[in-house]
Amino acid sequence: MTISPDLHEELRQSFKGDISADPKVLAQYSHDASLLEVVPALVVWPKDEADIKALVSFVNKNKQANPGLAITVRAAATCMSGGAIGESIIADITRYMAGRVEINQDKATVLPGTLYRDFETEVKKTGQMLPSYTASKDLNAIGGMIGNNSGGEKNLRFGKTENYVEALDVVLADGKSYEIKALNKNELEQKIIEDNFLGQIYRQVFHLINNNREIINQARPKVSKNSAGYYLWNVWEGETFNLNKLITGAQGTLGIVTKATLRVVPVEDKTELVVVFLSEVGQVAEVVNKALAFDPDSIESYDDKTMKLALRFLPALAKKLKFGGLWKLGWSFWPELKMTLQAGLPKLVLLVEFAGRADDDLNIKARQFVEEMKAMGVKARQTSGPAETEKYWTIRREAFSLLRKHLGKKRTAPFIDDVIVDPAQMPEFLPKLRAILDEYDLFYTIAGHAGDGNFHIIPLMDLSDPKSGDIIMELSDRVYDLVASFGGSITAEHNDGIIRTPYLDKMYGQEIIELFAQIKNIFDPENIFNPGKKVGGSKQYIKDHLATS
């Protein structure tokens, strides 16, 4: 769409922040970390909450004459599902709505454009952390973590971002700001009778959930984490009513978060890592179940292709590590090389980490787990210290980045990148998944959170090839059909965005999809917030907006 010079000028009258329609800027903001390209009409950088209100009021005023007007909020643009791109106005909150962190005991209040790495620095000064950080924690922002309901390597023990949201300040579709927090029964009764837009939302959401309780509870994914759809089953359990359970993970489709209060937890600064090398993927469920008995903080994984990638790009990896040079880093891979010469490269590597306080004897727990693995005939070793531990974590965290930077004509194509099934189903699920992928002669890596049964599959593709679009659409259908047949979720962490919204019916069926549409309409009747995500997406839109380079 286009925004006329008159509208552009009208916005300038009420908006204090920066505004640009420069084609170079629009091109820059047409991408996030997904494989999609959507060129916006305008990019703005709001100064504060007042600017967000002014922006919403501007869109409301002009929506009828300009139906395509809408707002897509963008933080660090690490979204892999296309959640941070849109055709109308992109509001980048990282320039001005960032950098303020206030800590009060076990809670931290922060602006949404604040990068997680800056937030982490401040919170760590008090000996605390937000444990739902992602593998891209050096790049992403707090607002994106809330919008996507992000998770990562600590989720096995601590859960996702939704568990840590205490209160949100949100500008809703009426252009006003409201504090949203959990309500008890009495507070809910008072809120429902309020004669304002928020009171109307509470009334309508309450009735929608009560009137459809049975099908909502049946639709709840039977996996440990999920970012697909709106989380209707989490809002009201009879004692506490919490709209933040809808707003978290909504990708900015229900309102715009301007401030967040998050619960933080103590940092446990002592860790021990056991690395498990599986010769067969079919061993993974039994090993994971054995590991869970030892109460680890995380069970992460990456496949043989990821290991080959690390070895191939060892010089680039060396820059991320403190090994005192490439030769010393190369020598650190001697255990893997020796094992490979004896038995071949492992099909899957598991990282089982134990964390605790300085007085916890994690070393005993790690040694006992290694002995348990040896009794099963599985190769496992405890790392020798922080440097070696960091080597394995860097391979896990940096694989996607290495792929993106060293590909030549091919590029990473995240579209089936975040599936999850019950961990007990992994021996059956993973071979079927790989069999489907292998039909297409694609190079791909598989890494992820084995303790949750959550895997990130990243194919490499030449998107300038006209066949790529057909492969993406066909593979998406087949992989998501497979996931649905196992009762899993098509996205555990990365959310729906443009790339997965059209496939939500595979998980939920049409009744729940209709309830999602009603939720969107309750909060956003004019569809001004990040349209085409969660509801209203189409497969044709995906195909029409695939990047070609």
Query: Per residue in 335-348, pLDDT tens?
Result: 666 665 565 788 89
**What's the CATH architecture for 101-266?**
2-Layer Sandwich (3.30)
- The predicted model gives 414-438 an average pLDDT of 94
For the chain, the average pLDDT equals 91
- What residues does each domain of the chain span? 5-92, 101-266, 268-406
**What's the CATH architecture for 268-406?**
2-Layer Sandwich (3.30)
114-128 tens-digit pLDDT? 999 999 999 999 999
- pLDDT(378) > 90: yes
Highest mean pLDDT among 186-200, 269-283, 332-346, 402-416: 186-200
| pLDDT at res. 542 | 97
> Model pTM greater than 0.85?
yes
Torsions phi, psi for 112 (to 5 deg):
-70, -20
* Cα Rg, the chain, nearest whole Å: 23
- Contact assessment for residue 508 and residue 232, using Cβ atoms and an 8 Å cutoff: no
Grade residue 466 by pLDDT with cuts at 50, 70 and 90. Answer: confident
| pLDDT at res. 407 | 58
**What 3 state SS string does 41-102 have?**
CEEEECCCHHHHHHHHHHHHHHCCCCCCCCEEEECCCCCCCCCCCCCCEEEECCCCCCCCEE
Alpha-carbon span 315 to 150, nearest angstrom: 30
- Contact assessment for residue 173 and residue 255, using Cβ atoms and an 8 Å cutoff: yes
Match 């595979």 to its residue by tokens.
506
Nearest to 38 by CA among 67, 75, 72: 72
- Choosing among 3.40.50.300, 3.30.43.10, 3.40.50.2300, 3.90.1150.10, the CATH entry for 5-92 is 3.30.43.10
Measure the CA dihedral 464/465/470/475, to 10°. -90
Alpha-carbon span 253 to 496, nearest angstrom: 11
